[in-house]
Every structure is written in C-alpha cells, then in structure tokens.
Amino acid sequence: MKSKDLYKQLSDKEILDRYRQSNDRELLGILLQRYTILLLGVCLKYLKNEEEAKDAVQQVFSKVISEIDKYPVDHFKSWIKESLLDLLEGAIKEIQPNQQQCISLFYIQKKSYRQISEETGFSLMQIKSFIQNGKRNLRLLITKKWNKNAS
C-alpha cells in the first residue's frame, strides 16, 4: 500500500503521468479520491438528494476509469466535470422527446415558457409539466443507470 502523503505534494498531472507510465490503478484511485468530496458537493447542488448524488459520483468515477486510457487528459479536474456533463447529456437523450425539447429550450437556451410555447405550440401548463416530469425522469435514469452498472 502506497502512502497517500507521498502523493499529496504532487499535482494531478504528475500523478496522471505516473499512472500512465506504470498503469498502477492505485494511483488512479488516489487521483479520483481527491475529488470525491468536491464532486459529491457539485452533484448535491444540482440533484438535491444525497443518495442520487452519491450514485452520480460513482457513475462519473466508473466513466473516468473506463475512459481514462482512451484519451489524453491534461486537466483532470475539468475532465471530471466534463464526465459529469456527459452523464447528464446521455440521460437527457433518453427521456421523452417532448420533455427533452422543453428542458433543452428552458435550461440550455434559457427561453421563457411563453417563448417555448410560441416555438413548440405546447400550452404553458404542458411545458411546465414536461419540464417537471423530464427532471424527475432524468434523476431516475441516472440512478437506474448506476444500479445497472453496479450489478
């Protein structure tokens, strides 16, 4: 077992370089664990549910582990955040098209209910319902995905 203190002074990039040279997964673990508490906080901010946030962090870690050898990563912190966004983007693609469209117009393009209504022809009530249900389904999907990965 390597002493974690030994790596405390090293930057993410230095640890990542050592991992790439040695392929020692313990180094990858040390690197990821640097971000557990931070990432948990980020997921909590958006998901507002401790169990769901925990699942999301685990899923991000799984993604990082499976993809780290495929891509050259210079800025590990940004890459972790990108992985979280990929996870969300993937889940958004799986919800119903109406919910997907309304969530995208509302949260990404920052349009008002009225603008969305003009663009899609949905009533204001329908839009609100699509966004609410879409958000709920997104959370369910993220949790379900992790449970599937874990089993």
29 sits near another protein (criterion: CB under 8 A)? yes
Pick between residue 11 and residue 123 the one whose CB is nearest to another protein: 11
Binds another protein (CB under 8 A): choice among 26, 86, 89, 119: 26
88 sits near another protein (criterion: CB under 8 A)? no
Angle of CA points 30, 140, 44, to nearest 5°: 45
In angstroms, give the least distance from the CB of 54 to another protein. 5
Which residues, 6 or more positions from 150, have their beta carbon under 8 angstroms from its beta carbon? 58
Nearest to 59 by CA among 31, 87, 78: 87
In angstroms, give the least distance from the CB of 97 to another protein. 29
In angstroms, give the least distance from the CB of 36 to another protein. 5
In angstroms, give the least distance from the CB of 122 to another protein. 31
Instruction: Give just the sign of the alpha carbon dihedral 82, 37, 64, 140.
Output: negative
16 sits near another protein (criterion: CB under 8 A)? no
What single string gives the DSSP state of each residue in 66-134?
A: HHTTTS--S-HHHHHHHHHHHHHHHHHHHS-HHHHHHHIIIIIS---HHHHHHHH---HHHHHHHHHHH
33 sits near another protein (criterion: CB under 8 A)? yes
Where do contacts with another protein occur on this chain (CB under 8 A)?
8, 11-12, 25-26, 28-29, 32-46, 48, 50, 53-54, 57-58, 61-62, 65, 77, 81, 150
